[in-house]
Amino acid sequence: MNESKSVEKAAEQFAERFRAIKEEIGRFIVGQDEIVDRVLMAVIAGGHVLLEGVPGLGKTALVHTLAQVMELDFKRVQFTPDLLPADILGTNILVDRDGSKVFEFQKGPVFTNILLADEINRATPKTQSALLETMQEKTVTIGGVCHRLDRPYFVLATQNPIEMDGTYPLPEAQLDRFFFKLSVELPNHAEMGLVLDRTTGVDSPVISKVVDGEQLLEMEQVARRVTVATEVRDYLVSLVLSTHPDNAAAPRDVARFVRYGASPRAAQTLISAARVRALTEGRYHVAREDVNAVAVPALRHRVLLNFEGEAEGVSTADIIQGLSG
């Protein structure tokens, strides 16, 4: 029973920390509760987030605030078309050491805990792809030497959906590495008023650090222990498989508008996110509603529409919502 109490205590701490992080972020970020929740879920689960929204909605501010709340190293890279992989990963440079010239690895901005990849779709695919290894294996290999990144490590990328000139849409492989893709919406009237109050006055809210890296990793471990019943797991698998148009269980809309469905990585994402959500809801087991709640951000960038779907203006979010009921 003592051990049980320790898990219970860890779970309570998890919920407490989650609430504290949210509160602290909420001191600066107005509204966007759902976005904040989901970003936190992704961060706790060790995933990366792609934030999509028009300029000025506070995407970068959110990531800044998050970095401030967590006692973690934070770096920001503004992606531009002339950005090179070496600019973000690092490179070997020739240095004079003890009278002799040697190559020394100069670490790039990816060697951090939180990397803000601002306007990621403005960099060339070559540079975008440079992030693949860091996002999946959390390592950087240069000159035959593999450099491990610090833990926790997560990429929070932003992209602008309307300015398409001079941009390079993220390839499917890159997109699949993102845990969640979140669409940041315009705040409502009251929220916008509060934004003005908080950002244009003399006093700016002071953000204090709530959790450190260790605690974040602890939260991830606690979340991993949340149990999933076979029935719920089967439901999740069915949900993912039904996004494939060639699956017998695929509904009519999927068969008609979808070119390719979600990958097994999407199922992993779903179950990890659902576990975190279950804990935040005070449960020690995953429910169907947890899976449904995280289905859209976890699958929307992994379900690819075909030409007919694009032409009809079908939204992947609608299709996924239709699947998850």
> Interface residues with other proteins (CB under 8 A)?
1, 3-4, 6-8, 11, 225-232, 283-289
Unique residue bearing structure tokens 């409502």: 188
Give start and end residues of each alpha helix (H) in 245-287.
252-257, 264-280
The CB-of-280 to other proteins minimum distance in angstroms stands at 13
CB neighbours of residue 64 within 10 Å = 19
HSE-CB of 142 using CA atoms within 13 angstroms: 23
The CB-of-37 to other proteins minimum distance in angstroms stands at 18
From the centroid of its chain, how far is CA 243? 21
The CB-of-154 to other proteins minimum distance in angstroms stands at 25
The CB-of-283 to other proteins minimum distance in angstroms stands at 7
CB of 76 within 8 A of CB of 118? yes
CB of 106 within 8 A of CB of 93? yes
The CB-of-46 to other proteins minimum distance in angstroms stands at 19
* Residues found in the chain: 325
The CB-of-231 to other proteins minimum distance in angstroms stands at 5
Residue closer to other proteins, measured from CB, 6 or 199: 6
Q: At what angle do helices 2-26 and 33-44 cross, to 10 degrees?
A: 140
Distance CA 219, CA 13 (A): 8
The CB-of-99 to other proteins minimum distance in angstroms stands at 59
CB of 167 within 8 A of CB of 125? no
Q: Is 82 helix (H, G, I), strand (E, B) or coil?
A: coil
Residue closer to other proteins, measured from CB, 9 or 209: 9
Residue closer to other proteins, measured from CB, 277 or 302: 277
Unique residue bearing structure tokens 């509060």: 194
Dig out the tokens for 242 from the structure: 């039904």
Residue closer to other proteins, measured from CB, 223 or 323: 223
Residue closer to other proteins, measured from CB, 3 or 165: 3
Distance CA 104, CA 26 (A): 42
The CB-of-232 to other proteins minimum distance in angstroms stands at 5
Phi-psi sector, 31: left (phi>0), alpha (psi -120 to 50), beta: left
Residue closer to other proteins, measured from CB, 79 or 235: 235
Residue closer to other proteins, measured from CB, 4 or 200: 4
Tell me phi and psi for residue 79, to 5 degrees: -80, 130
